[in-house]
Amino acid sequence: MQRILIANRGEIALRIIKTCTEMGIETIAVYSDADQDMPFVKAATKAVYIGDSPVNKSYLQVENILQAAISERADGIHPGYGFLSENPQFAEKVSEAGITFIGPDSNTIQLMGDKIVSRHVMESAEVPVVPGSSGIKSKEEAISVAYEIGFPVMLKASSGGGGIGMVLCENEETIVKNFDSIRTRAKAYFGSDAVFIEKYIPNARHIEVQIFGDNYGNVIHLFERDCSIQRRHQKVVEESPSPFMSEEGRLKLYETAIKAAKAVNYKNAGTIEFIVDENENFYFLEMNTRLQVEHPVTEQVTGLDLVKWQILVSRGKQLPLSQHEIVSKCHAIEFRLYAEDPVRFLPSPGKITKLKWEDSEGIRVDSGYTENGTVTPFYDPMIAKCIFYGVSRQESLSKAVKFFNHIQIEGIKTNAPLFQKILTSDDFQKGNYTTGFLSKL
């Protein structure tokens, strides 16, 4: 691969361009009307316009993106995260066009993209899954299944993701109230109205394991990331190692993640998400068949470049290192800086009139914007990922405190004040937090 098209935008497009440049690979950016002045468009070797601002007219336009790749003679496509990254038809069409899709096989994407199917796959591989159901056809069935499993339960869209398409049901009435609307929403948002029920696990932590596979059956893990700090089921802070898991629990988690990845003959970068209860019992939640937003946390603790590994594996190379050569050397934590009201969590698009932070050792900022850039209402509101790392958790946290006390952002509202609040919380400092942390802060 010598010319890679990046079917994405913002910080992740820049992130991929960086590694490609280091590897001597040319890059092709694709962009919409709203994004024409974005830094990633300028950073790529070449940029191709693909359509209007709304995502279904640009970044989800399979044909336009394929056309751009073909006319620019791209020999690889990196999908980034979101958009088409977990769309099996896209992966298939890329391969059919004779272009390398930088990710797993399309049938693996398909299998893991359907939550009901992936639960079955994992169960038969003896990976523990959250007690739950298969596909549910009616309100009545949902209620009877919920009584069988025991309330509270989560009602989920099988094709859901990114925190959209799930609702906590504490009793029969909440199921009645939400059943139709979750199906309508799932249909509108994901194109499928299949739903299922899972037992709700209280005081849970959301801990995931980064895994990597190659075309020769090798699968390794790259440790865990604790992503329990969430708002509306969307991650806000991620760290590694998890401050909660014991050494023994951690090893069991890695072992299970590898078992899960091997069960689907996994190739390239992937993440197994687990929900972990108070007693360190853990259950498979879902597998993300792509590079994660929070991959820099893993890169900082291991010192590895995951995008480079993705490209190497896609070229048919073996994994560059074996399990015993991969070490977690430090602690790292990432904060997702969003253009949003820190109190009401509503998006806050607009022009960023000032964007300044202090760069120093142990700080990595993956930003999609520069000063005077505009956050438009068409895409995810993330402006930048701020990653802090040090020999201890305490060291990373003190760097984060200093950083957010000094960062200057004007023109838009951001959630930086929320980070200051999180960082000064006693429970957070002690590593004592679950997915309910933000709603009680």
Partner 1 sequence: MKEVTATMAGTVLNIFVSNGDSVSINQEVIMIESMKMEIPIESTFEGVVKNLKVNIGDFVNEGDVLVELE
Interface residue list for partner 1 (CB under 8 A): 54, 56, 162-164, 181, 184-185, 188-189, 232, 234, 339-340, 345-347, 349, 377-381
Q: Helix or strand or coil: residue 360?
A: coil
CB of 166 to partner 1, least distance (A): 12
Q: Which of 290, 315, 336, 364 is catalytic?
A: 290
The DSSP call for residue 379 is S
What sign for the dihedral angle of Cα 313, 207, 256, 390?
positive
Backbone torsions φ then ψ of 207, nearest 5 degrees: -125, 130
C-beta of residue 68 within 8 angstroms of C-beta of residue 3: no
Cα separation of 109 and 86, whole Å? Answer: 6
Burial class of residue 247 (count of CB atoms within 10 Å of its CB; 0-12, 13-18, 19+): exposed
The single-letter code of the amino acid at 244 is F
Closest CB to partner 1 among 49 and 81?
A: 81
Closest CB to partner 1 among 287 and 339?
A: 339
CB of 362 to partner 1, least distance (A): 30
Closest CB to partner 1 among 183 and 206?
A: 183
* Catalytic status, residue 290: yes
- Within 8 A by CB and 6+ apart from 152, the residues are 168, 169, 170, 171, 200, 202
CB of 142 to partner 1, least distance (A): 19
CB of 175 to partner 1, least distance (A): 17
Closest CB to partner 1 among 237 and 397?
A: 237
C-beta of residue 86 within 8 angstroms of C-beta of residue 10: no
Closest CB to partner 1 among 163 and 202?
A: 163
CB of 154 to partner 1, least distance (A): 17
The DSSP annotation for 123-171 comes to: HHTT--B-SB-S-B-SHHHHHHHHHHH-SSEEEEEEEEETTEEEEEE-S
Strand stretches in 9-60, DSSP E? 26-32, 46-51
Task: Tell whether omega for the bond before 241 is within 30 degrees of 0, i.e. cis.
Answer: yes
CB of 106 to partner 1, least distance (A): 25
The residues annotated as belonging to the active site are 290
